[in-house]
Chain A
Amino acid sequence: MPFSSLSEIKARLDAGETTAVEVAKLYLDRIAAHNESLNAFVHIDPAHVLAQAEASDKYRSEHDARPLEGLPIAVKDIFCTQDGPTRCCSKILTDFHAPYDAQVITRLKEAGAVLVGKTNMDEFAMGSSNETSAFGPCRNPWNTDAIPGGSSGGSAAAVAAALTPAALGTDTGGSIRQPASLTGITGLKPTYGRVSRRGIIAFASSLDQAGPMTRTVKDTAMITAAISGHDSGDATSVDNASAVDWLGACDATDMKGLKIGRPKEYFVEGMDSEVRASVEAALEKCKELGAEIIDISLPHTEYAVAAYYVIAPSEASANLSRYDSVRYGHRCEDPKDLLDMYTRSRDEGFGTEVKRRILTGAFALSSGYYDAYYLKAQQVRTLIQQDFIKAFEKVDIIATPTSPVTAFKLGEKTDDPLTMYLSDIYTIAVNLAGLPGLSQPCGFANDMPVGLQWIAPAWREDTILSAASAYESATEWATRVPAGFGGES
């Protein structure tokens, strides 16, 4: 059972073969056994988890089960929850307890889910390796010397090692898809505006989007169905988003008539040759399933990383101003005056990468530089959006590698932020364009998982779910489990 999918557990619960309490105990035991080596969870309250599971079993005994009744779901430490601390893996939010739930947390609760705990992440979601966390790095279950990717590294590692059957992450420049790819699981970043951002600690407001990280495509659909939809408390949440038959979209077993775009800019020199081979093989498999592979061009791809590292830090520099030690969060000892309180509290509270991005953003927005950086980056963003619009005139969906490399070793890139930033080279453009993107396992390179990324037009998550389901049903990559976590058969 530990490596069962969410849908399999749901089937057993619905059949009365197990209870939410049994399921919760199973995963709590696994967390107790393996979290020390992985550091995937930064907060866990077993009594509270069991209380939720008991309440769910009681609910089930009295009512019709809700869509996620009794199913354990872990959430990244970026989601505000009334229960337990919410720290975004930053020292500056030491001891912060949110007096409210994020809207997606409310929706998970309303759907009957059992919230397992808070997962590790890069501080304020700024990182691609989970090494900037104030709670120490999280490790990749496929090789504990390797990083799990980031920023939703804890959620990815927890799902990959079956410490939870599913988790929520957030994705600003690839933070769901890249760790999903590096840990061999499935992760979806929905269309911007599909899922409410209210109560999710903001990194870059125009890019942030929450989404599921799961073992299967269908599990991803189940969770997205529960958390998506208009929220009047988020002005960027879209209320006319086209309805999706989330589960129905996952019934596809072939790709007949599907036109898949293969952007030449995503298959270039410099990418790991084994990664490339895995992705090329995946595209061959798609052809066998009836798809047509069409070469396309997204000509402004090469500017995406640069534009992103202006826009995201600019927004972050303002979003993180509220952590000023005045109302909550870390405050330095004995400040001598206001300026001292601000500078010392923030210097002590934020880690190096967060400070780097705040400074980058403040610089890009400052008088005299705004036009050259922020404005220019926004123009690039528009061009990237137009690239996709043009491409989708020819194809239904785009397939690319999720990451140019497999999981690297801890500490390998920490001294070289630029190389680290390039980890997100294939995922960033999707955020800039506000599109949905999904990563699913498509093989192994250097004994580590490789991810296949699907990109669809805005609001067409159904196209992605169908293609990914067909691919999943025709391959066995999603059933592979890392050694050493009790899943070997």
Chain B
Amino acid sequence: MSWEVVIGLEVHCQINTKTKAFCGCSTAFGAEPNTQTCPVCLGMPGQLPVLNMVAVDKSILTGLAIGAKINLESKFDRKNYFYPDLPKGYQISQFAVPIVEGGYIDIPTKDGEKRLGVTRIHMEEDAGKSMHEGLDAVSHIDLNRSGVPLMEIVSEPDMRSADEAISYLKQLHQVIRFLEVSDADMEKGQFRCDANVSVRHPGEPFGTRTELKNMNSFRFIKQAIEYEVLRQIEVIEDGGKVVQESRLWDSVKNESRSMRSKEEAHDYRYFPEPDLPPLRVSQEEVDAIKAGMPELPGELRKRFEIEFGLSPYDADVLSQTRLLSGWYESLVAAHPADPKRCANWLANELLGRLKEANLDIADSPVSAVALAGLLDRIADNTISGKIAKDVLDFMMSSGKDADAIIEEKGLKQVTDTGAIDAIIKEVMDANPEQVEGYRGGKDKLMGFFVGQVMKASKGQANPGMVNQRLKELLKG
């Protein structure tokens, strides 16, 4: 009998506000421990939270981008548990009435698009960080992260494979980056995922689920889910029962282990946060946020295909980030004659070189206007595409524009018939046997002659003209 996998995901995403959710402390990453704290985020007596409205706006924007309902009145609750990196002994979260409800993410599958439901997005504050390793019988606590605003994005149990789960996460990650509501840097823990996984035979009710906690790489998430699916199937096929529990993925041993069972699960004793009145936003405020929403990756992809005639692949590559798509549009604006050439040169040549140099598009030494200048020289036959690649290398290293490099290095394409004819004659004189052979019907030798002529011209002869003149002169 076949097995069906059921997956639901909870993503904790750090909202990229300058200050924390309930106090004025900086959220900058990487500061010395406990330097970005104040009495509020340290949980000192009598201190009170004041909500950061930028975090609210960014949560609303995210909700709008996934087609969700925005609750004009939402509420904060206290989630109670003791842990040394949770200074107040409770986390301020939204439990009963979150700011965003409903919504969806579409993912591409081999059978076309599949729509995956998003149950809710709620705001909450992050805890600090505990460090236990390498310390002799003590733990250290860094509360810089305490009170940093998070969105928790909870999906419906709609995914049916690890691949679908990853696809959902990548789409969500991309949307969030596009909206610039989070830097979503997974290595910095700004986009972390819990996965609820169960298996069943198709048509049966949901099986008992386990929760895989706190994963922050697409690769680990995929491995952890696949491992968990096989583990559950094995348990059931061996006549056992899956136990409801939280499990932690060990990316070194490539296996998961039990963290705590349902019986050990916390009773969080949620209740309304009396220090914060209900959060009310007006429809006008929501509409204003909606009006400022950028074009989303899905819309952009479709527009690139239709407007610029790009292949689905190129359209996808160029809509990965808002910065890249914007870069591409600037390039097309500066070189409007050939959007496809723009896409090729950006996606294949420039991005390839940037990747080798370990640079982001934001740090590219070649600007969109400069790259357009190079493409102009290809279009007007000043240089060949092959030479243009060399020119781009020089542009990368020197920061100079294409024209200056072409001039300086004397790379201008030879288009003078007389000059080309002279080179051809030299090559023919040097290779009488091949001339004889070609004239005897060995057409394949054409390639040899083109190669020799291009070599003799140091690549600067216009390849089209070389072809044309060779055919003429080889006739004899």
Contacts and interface: CB of A to CB of B under 8 A. Distances in A.
B89 A206 contact: no
Contacts of B89: 318, 320-322, 324
Contacts of B275: 202, 205, 235-236
A365 B87 contact: no
Interface string A91-135: 001001011101000000000000000000000000000000000
B412 interface: no
A321 B88 contact: yes
B269 interface: yes
A406 B245 CA distance: 57
Contacts of A370: 269-271
Contacts of A177: none
Contacts of B274: 204-206, 236, 315
Contact of B46 (A200, A362, A365): A200
Contacts of B49: 235
Contacts of A320: 89
Interface in A181-202: 197-202
A236 B50 CA distance: 10
A479 to B, nearest CB: 36
Contacts of A232: 50
A366 B51 contact: no
Given A100-B39, A324-B84, A374-B271, A318 B78 contact: yes
Contacts of B261: none
A186 to B, nearest CB: 26
A326 interface: yes
B50 to A, nearest CB: 6
A322 B78 CA distance: 13
Interface string B39-55: 10011111111110000
B45 A233 contact: no
Given A80-B45, A198-B46, A326-B141, A342 B271 contact: no
A235 B42 CA distance: 18
Nearest to B39: A100
Contact of B269 (A202, A324, A365): A365
A367 interface: yes
Contact of B39 (A99, A197, A200, A326): A99
Nearest to A322: B43
A367 B271 contact: no
A338 interface: yes
B269 A362 contact: yes
A321 B90 contact: yes
B87 A202 contact: no
Contacts of A314: 271
B46 A98 contact: yes
Contacts of B80: 317-318, 321, 362, 365
Contacts of A19: none
A202 B51 CA distance: 19
Contacts of A315: 271, 274
A206 B90 CA distance: 17
Nearest to A234: B48
Contacts of B90: 318, 321
Interface in A286-345: 314-315, 317-318, 320-322, 324, 326-328, 338, 342
A88 interface: yes
A201 B45 CA distance: 5
Contacts of B271: 314-315, 318, 365, 370, 374
Interface residues of B, number: 28
B277 interface: yes
A308 B237 CA distance: 54
A153 B323 CA distance: 64
Nearest to B268: A367
A444 to B, nearest CB: 37
A338 B84 contact: yes
A86 B47 contact: no
B48 A197 contact: yes
A315 B276 CA distance: 13
A199 B47 contact: yes
Nearest to B79: A318
B264 interface: no
B82 interface: yes
B267 interface: yes
Contacts of B267: 366-367
Given A205-B275, A236-B275, A326 B46 contact: no
B402 to A, nearest CB: 56
Interface in B42-74: 42-51
A197 B274 CA distance: 12
Given A321-B89, A365-B271, A96 B45 contact: yes
B46 A366 contact: no
Contact of B277 (A198, A201, A235, A324): A235
Interface string A73-94: 0000000100000101000010
Contact of A198 (B48, B82, B270): B48
A305 B82 CA distance: 30
A234 B46 CA distance: 10
- Central interface residue in A322, A366, A367, by most chain B CB within 10 Å: A322
Contacts of B276: 235-236
Nearest to A375: B271
A317 B88 CA distance: 11
Interface string A38-74: 0000000000000000000000000000000000000
Nearest to B139: A338
Given A324-B89, A326-B141, A365-B80, A88 B45 contact: yes
Interface in B13-52: 39, 42-51
A327 B45 contact: no
Contacts of A317: 80, 269
A342 B82 contact: yes
B269 A366 contact: yes
Nearest to B276: A235
B78 A202 contact: no
A328 B78 CA distance: 22
Contacts of A201: 45-46
Interface string A352-379: 0000000000100111001000100000
A1 B50 CA distance: 44
The 7 closest A-B pairs by CB, nearest first: A321-B89, A205-B274, A365-B269, A206-B274, A322-B43, A199-B46, A201-B45
25 contacts: A98-B44, A100-B44, A198-B47, A204-B274, A233-B50, A236-B274, A314-B271, A317-B80, A318-B89, A318-B271, A322-B43, A322-B44, A322-B89, A324-B82, A324-B84, A324-B89, A326-B84, A326-B87, A328-B44, A342-B82, A365-B80, A366-B267, A370-B269, A370-B271, A374-B271
Given A233-B48, A322-B89, 4 more contacts: A206-B274, A318-B89, A321-B89, A362-B269
Interface of A: 80, 86, 88, 93, 96, 98-100, 102, 197-202, 204-206, 232-236, 314-315, 317-318, 320-322, 324, 326-328, 338, 342, 362, 365-367, 370, 374
